[in-house]
Structure 1
Amino acid sequence: MTGDTTIIIGGGPAGLFCALQAAGDGRRVIVLEKKRSCGRKLLLAGSGQCNLTHDGEITDFFSHYGEHGAFLRPALLNFTNRNLIAFFEEHGLGMRAEPGGKVFPASRRSSDILAVLQRECERQGVGIRCSEPVHHVAREDGDFIVQSDANTMRADTLVIATGGASYPITGSSGDGYTLAGQLRHTITEIAPALAAVYIREYPFTDLAGISFSDLSIALFRGGKKIRQHTGDLLLTHTGLSGPGILDLSRYIRPGDQLKVAFLPGMNQDAIRSTVTATIAANGNRLVKTALAELPLPERFAKKLVELAEIPPDLNGANLSKKARSTLITSVAEYPFTVENLAGFDEAMVTRGGVSLAEINPKTMESRLVPHLYCIGEVLDIDGDTGGYNLQAAFSTAALAARRISGR
């Protein structure tokens, strides 16, 4: 194997899209996939329906990748959400934007996205070798030496597109970090992201499934507020989930405290005033009945009364100052202490990865090793829910392919 040969390690969406975009003009492109088939994690995306990207202006995407949106700017502008939608529509797969902005294939099947990618790889002459995990990579005389279970191969260009460490059963088990490390790249601390949060001494197990919209969620560490976020929240059997928690999870660590304001669209002072006025205006009614005037799920409101140790037959006029204060605080800033985050087998993506300081954001090429590219989730990038991570995978793949092909 000599001449213009590109080896891409990883047959997920980033790897396959980079392959089909880079192929042609006499260039040999080979994809090495460790599992028996490609795109296993892609098939799980959006519960099998594949939330491919998000609607709206591409400039609105930059704020959805934590502190790393600036790094992705060249990639996202080079290959936008409109370009991604157009690619699949031009290849016979209709796309549809749902209320809220999530974009899905009209068929609502992740398998249709994968089928287009594989068909186009075949049409472009890309060689896809499955059941061929790569164990070692090295640089020798200007070429890359790639060792798999079956072969030792040489290539002038190498792309690491192995994904992160989440959902390891799909093959996304962190191999790319080892391979990038073998080529002298720094790997930042990795941890689950877009992950549910387990809560210490969690009191709402029996309310699992109750959801809230647009709540204010504050993150505290060592008594100091470090983040404020607004989003939807879901009570689970063991803690908190929902888009608001998942998007914030990249910053959450065990031992942190989350304070949740359970009335949407209000700050804590406004909530305190609203709850105080509601109790006062319903002094002759039971406290649990008075709380029904607030936009709270009935079962949740009753649980707050129980947790405040307020007798079920007590009316608002006879509520003690301490009990009133406890109840108001529960609505305005309920405190949850984080036990842990869901592990890699449950988290949607990985926080951390190949250090962005060592990657050229205009090409996705390594600043340390010429003709080495890192794309997709193997990079220290994680996006919010809503299609942002898949868009980043396709956009970084397209940018690398553009450099590799010279187009």
Structure 2
Amino acid sequence: MKADLIIAGAGPAGLFAAVQAAANNKYKKILILEKNSSAGKKLLISGSGQCNLTHGGDISQFFDHYGENYNFLMGALYTFDNQKLMQFFEDRGIKFREVRGGKIFPESNQASDILNVLLKEIKNRNIDIIYNSEVRRVKQQNEYFEVQTAAETYISNYFLLTVGGKSFPKTGSTGDGFQIARSLGHKIIEPRPALAPVVIKNYKFKMLSGISLRVKEISLWRNNELLKSWKDDLLLTHQGLSGPGIINYSRYMEKGDIIKIKLLNYSKEELENNLIKKIEREGRLNLLNLLIKYPLAQRLIEKILDIADIDGSQNAAHLRKEERREIIDLFSSLEFEIKSLADFNRSMVTKGGIDLSEINPQTMESRITNNLFAAGEVLDIDGDTGGYNLQATFATAFMAGSELSKRL
């Protein structure tokens, strides 16, 4: 079968790029090959099924949320920003709501509404989707691409790769795109889980799973050197640590790194002075009842005392100097050693992918292979939680689709 454009992957990047490519080319043959039996499986589970489409605020504030590769996205995000993305769907009947922190969701809380808009646009533009058609091999023959599935061989002038990364493989994201890109000459930055919770070595807080810590100072250490520090919320889980303060920074984390959490907003010296004054005033209280006056969950304080082997039932006035300093050390810098990051089954996105130096950021065309394009998570781009990843997906798809519209 011959087509003008073949797109591998019917996720948000593939669908949206197809819509853009077909905008002024209603008589051109655009074909989407999808390995699953339906489109947009990962989109449907995004935001716990509610689809956190993008983030509010000015687009200039987005770039701090893409790690070290934000420069690549600047042109795409300024060209197709969050307001334009929302406008596209609003023009097609979708209303949005903004929740705490700036996350943007459809008012219906249904990711399926976003997918249905895309599928309707695909149908209106006479774009064909062939399901259960996993792309097995792609070769460039002279000016054409030969695209092979298990059942068919297709010929196309242009080829767009939008099959995603490796996160949530049950949705079809199994790293196929990396193999295809490599076969066409591209370097692949090693894929690894991102937006992932961490598993902690010798974890002592399993029974405290579900306790959240709001706006804590967190630091990441490797070989006794500070790599990065930040403030954010985090969550104790049955295996380790999660929450935005962990998953948004998991791109920087490795096995063996140390995470230190400052539980209270005091320096060590300030905390010691504060604790001494509390003991002077209320030393007749038992130690636990005195410590729970600090803004921490009682169960967490009990566990810290247990780890330090300090009797919380003793009168606070009887606390020895070395015990006081042990409490101060743990409150000021609670340490966790990373055993591993959660695997791709629990990571929201993939860090790594097609080397961005080999992609033109203005068009998403390969610098290695003419007429080959890529968009979405198959690229070495990963953003924070809060709608940043879908915004990048739609923006890169817009750039690819717009350029293909000119070429077709």
Amino acid at match of 2:337: T
CA distance in 2, matches of 1:397, 1:280: 64
How do 1:101-250 residues align onto structure 2 when only pairs under 5 Å count? 101-250=102-251
Per mean C-alpha deviation after superposition, the further-off stretch among 317-326 and 94-103 is 317-326
Q: Deviations over 1:111-152 (max 9, x none)?
A: 111111111111111111110000100111111111011211
Q: Is 1:342–2:342 an aligned residue pair?
A: yes
Do the aligned residues in 2 keep the contact of 1:229 with 1:248 (CA within 8 Å)?
no
Q: Deviations over 1:355-392 (max 9, x none)?
A: 00101111111111111111100011100000100000
Deviates more, 1:227-236 or 1:298-307: 298-307
Correspondence 1:57-136 to 2 at 5 A = 57-136=58-137
Q: CA deviation at 1:350?
A: 0.6
Q: Counterpart of 2:202 in structure 1: which amino acid?
A: E
The match for 1:311 is 311
Instruction: Map Cα deviations across residues 275-306 of structure 1 (whole Å, 9 max, x no partner).
Output: 55444543232221111111111211122122
Structure 2 distance, partners of 1:271, 1:373, is: 56
TM-score by length of 2: 0.96
Pairwise CA distance, 1:105: 0.4
Shifted more, 127-136 versus 314-323: the winner is 314-323
Letter in 2 for 1:228: S
Distance in 2, matches of 1:107 and 1:128, equals 27
AA at the equivalent of 1:258: I
- State the 1:267 CA deviation: 5.6
Partner AA of 1:204 in structure 2 = F
- Deviation, structure 1 residue 54: 0.5
Distance 2:90 2:278 in 1: 53
Q: How does 1:38-49 map to 2 (within 5 A)?
A: 38-49=39-50
Deviation readout 1:229-263 (Å, 9 max, x if unpaired): 22110000110000110001011111110001112
Q: Deviations over 1:82-106 (max 9, x none)?
A: 0111111111111111121000000
- Aligned partner of 1:19 in structure 2 is 18
Contact 2:268 2:328 in 1 (8 A): no
The amino acid across from 2:332 in the alignment is A
Judge which range, 208-217 or 320-329, deviates more: 320-329
Q: TM-score, normalised by structure 1?
A: 0.96
How far apart in 2 are the matches of 1:107 and 1:173? 30
What percentage of aligned pairs have identical amino acids?
A: 44
Quickly say closer, same or farther: Cα 1:362–1:271, change in 2 above 3 A. Answer: farther
Equivalenced residue count is: 405
Displacement after TM superposition at 1:184 (Å): 0.5
Residue 289 in 1 paired to residue 289 in 2? yes
The CA distance in 1 between the partners of 2:241 and 2:175, in whole Å, is 26
Is the CA contact 1:29–1:127 (under 8 Å) kept in the aligned structure 2? yes
Secondary structure, counterpart of 2:322 in structure 1: helix
RMSD: 1.5
Deviation at 1:271, TM superposition (A): 4.9
**Partners of 1:139 and 1:235 in 2: CA distance:** 50
Mark the CA change 1:273 to 1:399 in structure 2 (over 3 Å): closer, same or farther: farther
1:10 matched residue in structure 2 = 9
- Name structure 1 gaps, 5 residues minimum: none
> Are residues 388 and 268 of structure 1, via their aligned partners in 2, closer, same or farther at CA, if it must alter by over 3 Å?
farther
SS at match of 1:232: strand
Q: Which runs of 5+ in 2 are unaligned?
A: none
Which secondary structure state, in structure 2, belongs to the residue aligned with residue 18 of structure 1?
helix
Is residue 364 from structure 1 mapped to residue 361 from structure 2 by the alignment?
Answer: no
